[in-house]
Amino acid sequence: MIFNRFGDLVLDSQADGELIIVHHLGFIDQSVYHLGLTLNGAATQVDDTIEATSPHGTILVSDRDAGVAGIIYAISKNIFSPGAAYTATPTSVGSLDFDTGVITNVVTGMVSPHGMAFIAEK
Burial 65-89 (b: 16+ CB within 10 A, else e): ebeeeeeebebeeeebeeebbbbbb
The domains of the chain are located at: 37-120
Give this prediction's pTM.
0.90
Q: What angle do CA 1, 16, 24 make, to 5 degrees?
A: 40
pLDDT of residue 70: 76
Alpha helix ranges (H) inside 19-104: none
What is d(CA 89, CA 112) in angstroms, rounded to the nearest whole number? 8
pLDDT of residue 16: 87
What does 59-73 look like in DSSP terms, one character per residue? Answer: EEEEETTSTTT-EEE
pLDDT in tens, 51-105: 999 999 999 999 887 776 678 999 998 899 989 999 999 999 999 999 999 999 9
pLDDT of residue 77: 86
Pairing of strands 49-51, 85-88: antiparallel
pLDDT of residue 81: 92
pLDDT of residue 40: 95
pLDDT in tens, 36-53: 999 999 999 998 999 999
What is d(CA 18, CA 107) in angstroms, rounded to the nearest whole number? 20
